[in-house]
Structure formats: C-alpha cells, structure tokens
C-alpha cells in the first residue's frame, strides 16, 4: 500500500565517482518488496514537478532498519537537491511503488543489467542473502568502464554464496581486471553463462533502450514472454 512518509538522512555512501547512495531513517516501518521503488518529493507544493520529484529504486532489502536509494549524480536540479542534503535533513517520500518484484518461490532467476539499473538488483540479491534462500541467481552487469557501483558487495556475495554468479562486462575500454569481459551483453554471452536461460525468471531494469534490447535478447534466446519482468527508468 503506497503512502507518503518522511525520512531523515543518516548516511551518504560514495559508490563510484558519479554514483552515490543515500540512507534514510523513515518515521515508520516501510513494507516494500525487493525490486520496488519510491518517489522522492522535493517540491511538496507541486507533486507533478518532474524536475524535483523523481522516482528511485530501493537499493537495500526490506529487512534493514533504514531505506536506501542510489543515484547517478548529474547536473540536474534533482541531483543538486539530493547532494545538498545534510545528515539529519528530512525528505518526503511516496511509496512503495512498482510490480517488478522478486518472490521467494522463484528457484532460478537472471538479470541483464546496465549501469544504474543495478539498484533494484541489489535489493533483490541482498534480500536473497539475508534470508539465506537457495535461489539460483545469475547477474550479467554491463558498465562503460571498470568503475562499477556495488562491485565490492557483489563480489563478496558471489564468494560467500555458491548460488550467486556475477558476470561483468565493460563496453568503452579494454578492461584491466580479468574478471571483466570486454563488450556488450549479447545473446551468445547470456547463453554461455546460462545454458538454462529459457527456464529462468528474468528481471530487466533500466532506461527504455536497454530494456528493449535485453527483452529482445531474452525472446530470441527462447524465453517465454511471461517469464520476463521489466521496470523502465524514465526521466532518471
């Protein structure tokens, strides 16, 4: 059930040079589901103000006593408002929102993700870790460079849990790290990493162009339409 709630900023975490996470202590328990998002409202007088009231995914699981959102920092008015916040400042939220969610009964899942689309994925994977679920989880995560948000956390989960597998691709340079594969996410790569690709529930998060490309990839690889969950980031 979505509603408005207030939350105070308690921590800012720098994920990369241009990506930051913001942790807030809400004034009440927020019962969101892994994969959902909320709206941050900086202009309370004009709810329809798209420049100052934007949607951000939760980048933490529901089990935490805080909520976290993560943003690629730009020159936008919204980014300026967000980065100007000081510890203790109060922000108005609306949510939770979104139906692209993980369910405990899923046995095999896959993610084809680029850049900041990783935020709801973190919520889902950390939820699986927290609940010690045995869901077979594969993430192919593409970035332009080797400056990769949440890589430390993802690497730790992959090392600690045999049911979690992470593949990194880098598109704009020849990676120095042997863990990173040069190039984009392709059908061949997805099929090589997941021979049972057509049996998995897939999650696609990101801007429209990325969502469309990854949706086509899944369909071409033999995935059923009803096995593909999509959440498009618009005006991010």
Cβ atoms 215, 206 nearer than 8 A: no
pTM, full prediction: 0.94
Q: 179 is written with which tokens?
A: 């863990």
Element (H, E) at 125: helix 118-130
pLDDT, tens digit, for every residue of 165-207?
999 998 877 766 667 787 899 999 999 999 998 899 999 999 9
Among left, alpha and beta (phi > 0; psi -120 to 50; other), residue 150 is left
pLDDT, tens digit, for every residue of 135-147?
999 999 999 888 8
Cβ atoms 150, 111 nearer than 8 A: no
Cβ atoms 100, 35 nearer than 8 A: yes
pLDDT, tens digit, for every residue of 57-114?
999 999 999 999 999 999 999 999 999 999 999 999 999 999 999 999 999 999 999 9
As its CATH architecture, domain 108-232 has 3-Layer(aba) Sandwich (3.40)
Domain ranges of the chain: 3-97, 108-232
In the CATH scheme, what is the code of domain 3-97?
2.40.30.10
């Amino acid at each position: 059930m979505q509603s408005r709630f207030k939350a105070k900023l308690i921590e800012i975490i720098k994920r990369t040079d241009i990506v930051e996470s913001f942790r807030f202590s809400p004034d009440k328990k927020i019962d969101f589901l892994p994969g959902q998002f909320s709206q941050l409202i900086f202009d309370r007088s004009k709810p329809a103000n798209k420049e100052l009231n934007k949607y951000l995914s939760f980048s933490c699981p529901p089990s935490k006593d805080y909520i976290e959102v993560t943003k690629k920092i730009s020159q936008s008015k919204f980014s300026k408002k967000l980065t100007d916040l000081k510890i203790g400042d109060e922000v108005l939220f609306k949510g939770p929102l979104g139906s692209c969610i993980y369910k405990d009964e899923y046995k095999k899942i896959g993610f084809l993700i680029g850049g900041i689309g990783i935020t709801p994925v973190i919520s889902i994977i950390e939820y699986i870790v927290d609940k010690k679920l045995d869901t077979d989880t594969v993430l192919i995560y593409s970035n332009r460079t080797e400056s990769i948000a949440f890589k430390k956390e993802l690497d730790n989960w992959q090392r600690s849990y045999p049911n979690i597998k992470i593949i990194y691709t880098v598109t704009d340079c020849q990676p120095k790290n042997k863990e990173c594969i040069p190039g984009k996410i392709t059908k061949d790569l997805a099929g090589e990493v997941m021979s049972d690709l057509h049996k998995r529930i897939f999650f696609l998060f990101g801007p429209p162009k990325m969502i469309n490309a990854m949706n086509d990839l899944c369909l071409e690889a033999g995935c059923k339409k009803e096995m593909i969950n999509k959440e498009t980031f618009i005006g991010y």
